[in-house]
Structure 1
């Protein structure tokens, strides 16, 4: 009888240990498969959030991405206007491949300068460009396209038929080095032969202004450019 009682107590101990392991270790991680929590009126502990749920929470609370404000000009020319209006005065031009940073976007237009008051009593003004004609990635310009573009700037050069390759090479160098802008060549249609260097094929263009100090000369015989005071007549 004593042995039977000890056996019963041993079985009860094993059962209690198994139930404790199930309730406190197995069920919190794998779910209450046997339903003992409901039977005992016990509230199960909150489940640990899974990796997927943590990633989802992180994704929903991430800060919004900033709008794209840096672009390149994709069209051949892009007018700069005094207002976001196609009828507004043209302040200048941008050219294909030029990089621009916008300060504001509004109804298909981008503002590229701060607001300024030019005259007392007038509304502040800024410079605007149309968003159409802008791309995020810098456009690829082939050598053939580049040559055509540059020759369009200097299409009225004196003796162009004789020195086309020379004029193109020097003009392209002046543009890429930022010594001149396309509008400098468009002002005169290209290179003008100098009357001050009689008997020599010397040509000039104005870059950055129309004064003597803005003249850049080209000796077409050797491709050298220089700035010099004009000799007296």
Structure 2
């Protein structure tokens, strides 16, 4: 192939790719609520496969009745008629739950999304707030997170380095709403420290 032909081929590829790239950018939506459920079908009666957090982005592939599909269909990992990927609610491997031929796609409510990404509440964080600025739900509990971090550092349970490494507090999926955890001194279960954001209490 001559240099001229090669250049024309590259230019043609760029022209063909441009609309696709533009379309993908246009389809990107951002979470505007504290978190939104990723469900197995476009209904609140369907199972929850996980969550998207505030300011997380998702590529919207389809919209239907106030819902957006954000993934292609993938294996539901059905065992005994139930999906191992459903974390909350209906886990039945049925078409009514959005699971067909052992697969489902994820849906989120349109009302929790926006084409404009919200401002980052972590921007400009200083002092103890900067130690926990990577926490889940930072904008909601930044005061509790920073106070608990300082308490753990002062009593020798954690170091500033621990919080810098972890980024802060992560939402606990098995201890219920308002519970968060971090690791201090290692990444084993014995190094796990929990925080109740409602009471401010920390424990192992």
TM-score, normalisation: structure 2 = 0.46
Query: As a proportion of its length, which structure holds more strand?
Result: 2
Query: As a proportion of its length, which structure holds more helix?
Result: 1
- Larger C-alpha radius of gyration, 1 or 2? 1
Which structure is richer in relative contact order (CA contacts within 8 A, separation 6 or more)?
2
